[in-house]
Every structure is written in structure tokens, then in C-alpha cells.
């Protein structure tokens, strides 16, 4: 009987058995997570330990420090170069401004030199004039610039030393013919006021009508209505 029961348990007709765990599933999940975390920690430790053994991490840190030092040196070099460039640009700007100022001064000196030469030539060409002993008209000159325009120059001199300033009026009159008829024209409608302190140089331009022939030019100095001196030249 016992043998039959034992054989029945071993045969296909034996009753089914189910093996179930007594551990709840949340605990099983927690244990799984702990196992995975431990495995990951071990893997990371093994990786870091391997790098340390191989010397990779140490070389990387040293290279990083070297690169940082080189970057600092390059920054300082760049700052220094920018400072030098800014200084050079400022010096170049200042030099250009100085050159421009010097060019203007040279140009002004050239103009002053030309003016002095003109004055010197004007004084060298002085010819005896007429006057009342205290006031003289010297160096009356007339130059034709073009057929319809003349340029005149005159020098007024006080002959006496330490003479008081002379206040008067200057009148320049051109005379000749225009289209075959007598013609006269003044440099202005009214005589030009002048103040002579030792000497005075005056000049001006006069436009004349077409077909005009200028024959004489007269300079007069008035004081009020009185003619103090006059001088005439022929062209």
C-alpha cells in the first residue's frame, strides 16, 4: 500500500505542488535596488582605481594646471600687447596732430615771409613823393590785373619823429578815357578813413568799364575838407 502511494506521488497523476516565496515584493524591489547600487558603486570604484593605477587622472590634472598657467600667461601678454597698441595709437594720433600743426605753422611762416618780401620790395621801390613836410605820400603804384581791373598800393609816411597820430581820409582817383571820352573814377564814393602812426600802407582793387584807358592815378590825403597832400603818377 505504501509502495503504491509512493509510486503515485512520482507518477504524472501525482498532485501538483506550488512553491511560493514568503518575502513581500516591496522588500524584493528594495533588495534589488541595493544590489544594483552596490554593483554600480563597485564598478565606479574599480574605474577610478584603475585610472589612479594607470596614472591617467594625475596626468590630466597636471595638464589642466599647465594649461591654466599658459592661459594666464597668454592673458597677461594680450593685456600688455593691447596696452602697447593703445599707447602706440595715442602716440601716432598725437604725432599726426603735431605734424598737422607744424604744417600749418610752416604755411603761416611762408605766408608771412611772402608778405615781408612784398613789403621789402615795396619799400625798396619807394620813389620821392610829395608832402607838406610832416606827411608824405610815397610809393604809389598801380598794376593792371586784367583788362577790367587794376590793383593800387600807396605808402603814407609821417616825416617828423615822434609825430602825433594823423587822422584823415585817403582818396584814390583814376583818370583817362573810356570809349574815346574823358573818364574819371574813384576807388570809393567817399574817401577812406585812415589813421597814420608813423606810416601806413594801403591797397585796393578797382574795376573799370570796358574800353577804358587809364592815364593817371592820383592819391589825396584829406583832413576834414582840407587837402593835406596829393601825389599823381602817369601810366
DSSP 114: H
Domain ranges of the chain: 26-124, 130-234
DSSP 16: P
DSSP letters spanning 8-42: HHHSTTSPP------S-HHHHHHHHHHHHHHHHHH
Query: Bridge partners of 141?
Result: 153
Q: Where are the beta strands (DSSP E) in the chain?
A: 130-131, 135-146, 149-158, 166-178, 181-186, 192-196, 199-207, 212-223, 226-234
Give the per-residue pLDDT at 127.
47
Q: Using only C-alpha atoms, what is the Rg of the chain?
A: 58
Distance CA 224, CA 202 (A): 19
Give the per-residue pLDDT at 233.
87
Distance CA 119, CA 80 (A): 57
CB 154 within 8 A of CB 203: yes
For the chain, how far is it from start to end, CA to CA, in angstroms? 176
Per-residue pLDDT for the chain (235 aa), expressed as one digit of tens each? 555 655 555 555 555 555 555 566 666 677 777 777 777 777 777 666 666 655 555 566 677 788 888 888 888 888 888 888 888 788 888 888 888 888 888 888 888 887 777 766 666 555 444 445 468 887 788 888 888 888 988 888 887 777 788 899 999 999 998 888 898 888 888 888 988 888 888 888 988 888 888 899 999 898 888 888 888 888 8
Q: Return the CATH number of the domain spanning residue range 130-234.
A: 2.60.40.10
Could you tell me the pTM of the whole model? 0.46
Amino acid at each position: 500500500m505504501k509502495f503504491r502511494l509512493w509510486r503515485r506521488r512520482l507518477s504524472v497523476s501525482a498532485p501538483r505542488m506550488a512553491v511560493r516565496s514568503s518575502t513581500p515584493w516591496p522588500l524584493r524591489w528594495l533588495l534589488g535596488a541595493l544590489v544594483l547600487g552596490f554593483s554600480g558603486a563597485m564598478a565606479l570604484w574599480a574605474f577610478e582605481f584603475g585610472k589612479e593605477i594607470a596614472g591617467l587622472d594625475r596626468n590630466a590634472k597636471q595638464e589642466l594646471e599647465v594649461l591654466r598657467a599658459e592661459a594666464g600667461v597668454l592673458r597677461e601678454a594680450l593685456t600688455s600687447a593691447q596696452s602697447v597698441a593703445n599707447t602706440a595709437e595715442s602716440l601716432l594720433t598725437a604725432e599726426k596732430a603735431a605734424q598737422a600743426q607744424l604744417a600749418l605753422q610752416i604755411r603761416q611762416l611762408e605766408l608771412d615771409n611772402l608778405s615781408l618780401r612784398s613789403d621789402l620790395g615795396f619799400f625798396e621801390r619807394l620813389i620821392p613823393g610829395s608832402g607838406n613836410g610832416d606827411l608824405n605820400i610815397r610809393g604809389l603804384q598801380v598794376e593792371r590785373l586784367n583788362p577790367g581791373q587794376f590793383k593800387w598800393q600807396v605808402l603814407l609816411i609821417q616825416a617828423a619823429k615822434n609825430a602825433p597820430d594823423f587822422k584823415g581820409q585817403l582818396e584814390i582817383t583814376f583818370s583817362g578815357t573810356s570809349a574815346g571820352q574823358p573818364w574819371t573814377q574813384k576807388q570809393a564814393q567817399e574817401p577812406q578813413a585812415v589813421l597814420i602812426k608813423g606810416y601806413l600802407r594801403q591797397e585796393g582793387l578797382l574795376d573799370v568799364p570796358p574800353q577804358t584807358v587809364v592815364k593817371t592815378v592820383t592819391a589825396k590825403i584829406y583832413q576834414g575838407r582840407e587837402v593835406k597832400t596829393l601825389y599823381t603818377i602817369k601810366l
